[in-house]
């Protein structure tokens, strides 16, 4: 997985559609979770890559990059905890349940 991840880091963000970058960032975390723990340089390379993505003009990219960088910079998060974030699949929310959530004032 680390070879594939390093190849992903070499992709130029300008070569991807901005809408794809948040998913690429999320996938990066998922792949990193399954890489060997002894590849410390890989985590540092990802954090440097995320630092560049935080400067994106796209808000979604900035948000995902900032979240991922904070997660990787936390001393409490190691690869085991990172794996645990992705073990359970996210289940879709029933659209009827979403309609029951009141819209806060000021939002349209």
Greater confidence, 35 or 40?
35
* Calpha distance 52→42 (Å, rounded): 16
* Calpha distance 47→41 (Å, rounded): 10
Q: DSSP labels for 50-103?
A: HHHHTT-S-HHHHHHHHHHHHHHH-TT--HHHHHHHHHSPPPPPPHHHHHHSPP
- DSSP letter, residue 107: -
Q: How confident is the model at residue 38 (pLDDT cuts 50, 70, 90)?
A: low
* Calpha distance 104→108 (Å, rounded): 9
* Residues 47-71 pLDDT 10s: 999 999 999 888 999 999 999 999 9
- Report the predicted TM-score, pTM, of the whole model to 2 decimal places: 0.74
Q: Which of helix, strand or coil describes residue 8? A: helix
| Count of C-beta atoms within a 10 Å radius of residue 101 | 8
């Amino acid at each position: 997985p680390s070879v594939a991840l390093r190849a992903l880091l070499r992709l130029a963000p300008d070569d991807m559609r901005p809408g794809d970058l948040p998913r690429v960032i999320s996938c990066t975390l998922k792949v990193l979770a399954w890489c060997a723990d002894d590849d410390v340089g890989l985590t540092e390379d990802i954090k440097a890559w995320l630092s560049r993505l935080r400067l994106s003009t796209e808000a979604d990219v900035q948000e995902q990059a900032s979240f991922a960088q904070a997660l990787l910079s936390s001393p409490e998060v190691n690869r085991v905890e990172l794996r645990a974030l992705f073990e359970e699949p996210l289940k879709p929310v029933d659209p009827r349940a979403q309609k029951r959530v009141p819209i806060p004032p000021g939002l349209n």
